[in-house]
Amino acid sequence: MNQVLMIFSLKRLVNPMNKFWIVFFHTFISKIKTKSFIITTALFLAFIILMANIQSIISLFDQDEMDRVGVVSNQSEIVTLLDERLGGTDIEITDYNGSLEEAKEAVTQEEMVGVLEINQTDDQLPKASYHAVDYTNQRVETRLQNELEQIKVEMATNQAGIDPEVIASIYEPLIFETEIIADGEGNSSVKTEEELNIARGLVYVILFLLYFAVISYGNMIAMDIANEKTSRVMEILISSSSPVSQMFAKILGIGCVGLLQMGFFLITGYIMIMQKQEELVGGFFDAFGFSNVNLATFNYAIIFFLLGYFLYATLAAMLGSLVSRTEDVQQMLMPNILLIVAAFMIAMFGLGMPNSPLVTISSFIPFFSPMTMFLRASMLDIAFWEIGLSIFILIATIILFALIGARVYRGGVLMYGKSSSLKDFKKALQLSKKE
């Protein structure tokens, strides 16, 4: 309440621009002090650190642990072949000098994880049965079965007089290459496979970040407005600054909160990557294509991320101004959520088919273009005018939403009572005309 009185007392002493910054800093500081922001940030940072060190953590529990399997068999040749195949793995087989029942008793005493009985069929091929106290360690069972199947194939081919090299050539993977056909001028609208893999990783991450930002911070904007209306703080704020100034001050304030939070995530992730880069090279980096990302992809990521946030944040502020109870916020924001979910699903589809007509058309629709045009710009060699047109339409839509949102916001913040329908738009516009 002291902060509200401070704003009220300062409104007579400052010009409109200063009023904008007062609302901006008030929104920014109040949000970064909340327990939800601190806890959420801490949990995500802990998750990033955990994932970066997951291999080391797993190795702590698996260190020097071998799964011992006893073998009861008089087929020494098969046992020898199996032992050779399992060499260097975390499964160790040992000949058990005793009966099968005695070996089972040793398993129940946890001397071994299981016992493997190997015999021969009438065709002189191996057959086996595995005995364990439970089915939780199926990794050992599956590995033993696979190795014995390979041994059976070798023995069967030897019996049939088939050259092992012929069998090896049969099991070799098919050579299958893809070549992109260029046009008459030697150009292609599709990047090479290596370039696509490089772009796909960053696109995948940015899509998730944009999805998370729009859902989380859009909801935060709407909840902030609803809370102020519930406490009647809005009546003081609306008299101290214009609706447009107040709306964009909140959008920018919460946007900076989001940038600060994601900055923590990115810095922590970068530090972890630098510390673990030797472990990640050839694995995580190659899987997500982070080893050699084009600078233009980063630029497009920043541009479409910010434009996408402003588009959906403006819509969230407009919808949030129509409700006066925090319980109604989620229902009112449902159109916003459905739009971003639809955009996300189209973008996920586009990762595999970036040239699809659905992706191409949606890249010029403002609600979808922050994701789909970013995807196309990163994964395809498209004309620059297409990217420029998409950005122009997106900026024009944001300006249009800002103009409409300002009128709805002006009337919506003065509406009290239950508001959970988009029909309240008309009422909010009528109230704004009376101002």
Q: What is the pLDDT of residues 29-74, one digit of tens each?
A: 888 888 888 888 889 888 888 877 776 776 666 555 677 888 888 8
Q: For residue 159, name the pLDDT band (cuts at 50, 70, 90).
A: confident
Find tokens 């696109």 and name the residue: 203
Alpha-helical runs (H) found in 119-192: 138-160, 164-171
Sign of CA dihedral 422, 423, 426, 431: negative
**pLDDT score for 396:** 92
**pLDDT score for 276:** 65
Q: What is the pLDDT of residues 228-255, one digit of tens each?
A: 666 555 555 555 566 667 777 888 888 8
- Quickly list DSSP for 53-116: THHHHHHHHHTT--EEEEEEES-HHHHHHHHHHTTTSSEEEEE--S-HHHHHHHHHTTSSSEEE
> Would you tell me the crossing angle of helices 2-10 and 233-240 to the nearest 10 degrees?
20
Q: Give 120: exposed, middle or buried? Use CB within 10 Å, 0-12, 13-18, 19+.
A: middle
**pLDDT score for 390:** 92
Q: What is the Cα–Cα distance from 65 to 50, expressed in whole angstroms?
A: 22
Q: Determine how many CB atoms are found less than 10 A away from the CB of residue 260.
A: 14
CB-side neighbour CA atoms (13 Å) of 397:
21
Query: Can you list the positions of beta strands (E) in 110-243?
Result: 114-120, 126-131
Q: Which CATH superfamily is domain 68-171 in?
A: Periplasmic binding protein-like II (3.40.190.10)
CB-side neighbour CA atoms (13 Å) of 291:
15
**Domain spans, the chain:** 2-51+193-434, 68-171
* Percent of the chain clearing pLDDT 90 (strictly above): 4
Residues 298 and 389 sit within 8 Å (Cβ to Cβ): no
Q: What is the Cα–Cα distance from 39 to 324, expressed in whole angstroms?
A: 27
Q: For residue 416, name the pLDDT band (cuts at 50, 70, 90).
A: low
Residue 6 has pLDDT above 60, yes or no: no
Residues 79 and 93 sit within 8 Å (Cβ to Cβ): yes
| Beta bridge partner(s), residue 115 | 70, 131
Q: Determine how many CB atoms are found less than 10 A away from the CB of residue 1.
A: 7
**pLDDT score for 188:** 46
Q: Determine how many CB atoms are found less than 10 A away from the CB of residue 200.
A: 19
Q: What is the pLDDT of residues 122-148, one digit of tens each?
A: 778 888 888 887 766 778 888 888 888
pTM of the model: 0.65
